[in-house]
Amino acid sequence: MAGRIQDKVCIITGASSGIGEAAARLFAEQGGKVVLAARRDKTQNIVDEIKAAGGEALFVRTDVLELADIDTLVQTTLDTYGRIDVFFGNAGVGNFFAIEDMDLEKDFYYTINTFMRANWWAAKRILPHMMEQGKGDFIFTTSCAAYNGVAQGSVYSAGKAGIHSLMRAIAMGYGKYNIRANCVVPGLTTTELSPAGGAMEQMQVPYIPMGRPGTAKEVAYAALFFASDECRYATGDELIIDGGGDHLGVMYPEAAEKGIDNEGFNIGEGGTTVTLE
């Protein structure tokens, strides 16, 4: 029996771990030809495992901050498969501390360029091919933080909100070519950025009605729905996957009382930032 996205060529950025890795494995299980874009060599191991399980996959080493890498990603996919059916813009960074302590280049531009510039450039390069073939899908991973004022995540929240606007622009401008654009919007999800038992989880779980974080695969299933033909009439939409936490009420108002402050976000090199590519 054919899979839900049988033979669709799907680029997934940030595919070396977390939601991107889960999506790559799931898309391949459902018949997709997946192109994993990431910086880390470990991504090839994921490709090898997908192939061993009978799927089709390709690793293209990609730093989404380098526009030339995105060009190579798009061209390699076209050279290999002749088309691009799905672009899942999932690569992300976490950047959480006070505005006055942030650096313009290494914090602001680093985050905004990862979220906005990279996805905009990918769309610029891919849209002409989708227009020619008369069909295509853009899916972006954003965050419930895009809807909220997150004191320690000003640029993160702004960057994610910007992706929502980019998604709507694609949906509005290219629907006539049968090209759709949608966002999956996770709340707390267990990944390298938010590990099990970490500060994010401690702060948010008490305020999530379902009482737990989401899993990367649960988010990947939402992306699979958007990538499939099961929802061809859905475009410009945002599917929230947060266990009811972020959009039903105010998150973690007692964080300070619990002793979880700015230090709780000290993750990654330099104690402030981690890249999930």
- Contact between 50 and 24 (Cβ < 8 Å): yes
pLDDT band at 36 (very low <50, low <70, confident <90, very high): very high
Residue 104's alpha-carbon distances to 64, 150, 155, 157, 262, in angstroms, are 19, 18, 10, 16, 19
pLDDT band at 179 (very low <50, low <70, confident <90, very high): very high
Q: Is 156 a catalytic residue?
A: yes
- Contact between 179 and 127 (Cβ < 8 Å): yes
CATH code for residues 9-245+255-276: 3.40.50.720
- Contact between 100 and 47 (Cβ < 8 Å): no
Mean pLDDT, residues 182-203: 89
pLDDT score for 246: 61
Q: What percent of the chain has pLDDT over 90?
A: 75
Does pLDDT of 273 surpass 60? Answer: no
> How many CA within 13 A on the CB side of residue 46?
30
- Contact between 63 and 75 (Cβ < 8 Å): no
pLDDT score for 95: 77
List pLDDT tens digits, range 104-146. 999 999 999 999 999 999 999 999 999 999 999 999 999 998 9
Q: DSSP assignment, residue 52? A: H
Average pLDDT over all residues of the chain: 89
Joined tokens for residue 5: 């996205």
158 by DSSP, 3-state: which? helix
Q: How far apart are CA 4 and CA 22, in angstroms?
A: 16
Candidates 156, 174, 207, 252; catalytic one? 156
